[in-house]
Amino acid sequence: MTSATAAWVGDGYDPECPTRVLLDRVGDKWTVLVIGVLADGPMRFTALRDRVGGVSGKVLTATLRALARDGLVTRTAYPTIPPRVDYELTDLGRSLQGPLDVIRDWSEQHIAAVIAHRDKFDDGASE
């Protein structure tokens, strides 16, 4: 094997492998969408929920907490009534946009081929 692959293959699944840590965070349904929306600037909870569309409050809370825990967003709560909480990407969070752009570029270039294979595969399976 090449040393490049060795770095992320290792001796099997390792929850502490750096690549795995990132994929575990970014692989879930909403994190990428939240980061994308926050790329436009700070936003409060309800605006974020409306903007992402389809996410439940519970899951958005969990997603934002995980992002804050990892230092990718900041959470700023103002003790006003009613409460107001602003979320904002950190520099670390913004630095993630490069890799995310690469993923997006690959997807947009190759998704047609993937879908084509998928359709062909499904046709063959149903015969």
Partner DNA sequence: CCCTTTAGTTACCTTGAGGTACCAGGGTAC
Partner DNA sequence: GTACCCTGGTACCTCAAGGTAACTAAAGGG
Within 13 Å of residue 122, how many CA atoms lie on the same side as its CB?
Answer: 6
> Using CA atoms, how far apart are residues 31 and 14, in angstroms rounded to an integer?
21
Binding positions for DNA, rule: CB under 7 A: 13, 28-30, 44-46, 54-59, 61-65, 75, 77, 81-85
3-class secondary-structure state, position 73: strand
Residue 85 touches which member of its own copies, DNA, none, C-beta under 5-8 Å by kind:
DNA
> Nearest to residue 21, comparing CAs of 58, 59, 71?
71
Binding positions for its own copies, rule: CB under 8 A: 1-2, 4-5, 7-9, 11-13, 18-24, 26-30, 32-33, 36-37, 39-40, 52-55, 68-72, 92, 95-96, 98-108, 110-111, 113-118, 121-122
